[in-house]
Amino acid sequence: RIHSNGSAQLWNNIGMCFFGKGFHVAAASCLKRALYLDPFEWILCYNLGLVHLSAGQYASAFHYLSASINLKGDFHASYMYLGITLAKLGDASNSCRAYEKAISLDEDHLAHLNYAVTLYNAGEIDQARGQHAKFQRMFSKLDQEDAEGEWDVMSQAQALQDLLSQAEQQPHQPTAAKGSAPGES
């Protein structure tokens, strides 16, 4: 029994526990309860955006990530995940704008990698190579322990590297790379 069922933070934590276990419906339900209790808490909108993105509900993810950005416009990850969402919705130009904003707020290796995937899928091979190179430079500067823990990131980066290498020999075939965050596919 929950003794403090009026706590938005408690419902947020429970929701994210469900999300971590892959129970998207339960996670969304708990997070929506939290949002009902505290409608102006940006992290609740952000977390709901992540849940919907992971569940493949891109319009809902767009809604909640946009709300998160409206409430806290300086959190770079909101823009990165908005970029992924917009790419999934087929809006490459606004997706690129979201990645650029994310990178302007914080030079994050994941933003560069996801930006490179989106550019590749949009047929912008040279720009994708540039973003992938920036990702590689940043990733190589991570502590060995941090880098080893990101096997899914390394896997996605290698898959993109292979596709970029193939693109030198043959014409581009869009949708060959996944436009998703590591661990989200």
Alpha-carbon torsion 35, 37, 41, 44, what sign? Answer: negative
Q: Do domains 1-73 and 75-185 have the same CATH topology?
A: yes
Digit-coded pLDDT (tens) for 56-110: 999 999 999 999 999 999 999 999 999 999 999 999 999 999 999 999 999 999 9
The model's pTM is 0.87
Question: Tell me, which fold does domain 75-185 have in CATH?
Answer: 1.25.40
In contact, 51 and 33? CB cutoff 8 Å: no
Q: How far is CA 168 from the centre of its chain?
A: 28
Nearest in space to 87 (alpha carbons), one of 127, 50, 114: 114
Domain spans of the chain? Answer: 1-73, 75-185
| Res. 184 pLDDT band, cuts 50 70 90 | very low
Tell me the residue type at 42.
W
CATH class of 1-73: mainly alpha
**DSSP symbol at 4:** -
- Which two tokens mark 11? 């419902």
Average pLDDT score, the chain? 90
Point out the least confidently predicted range of 11-15, 95-99, 163-167. Answer: 163-167
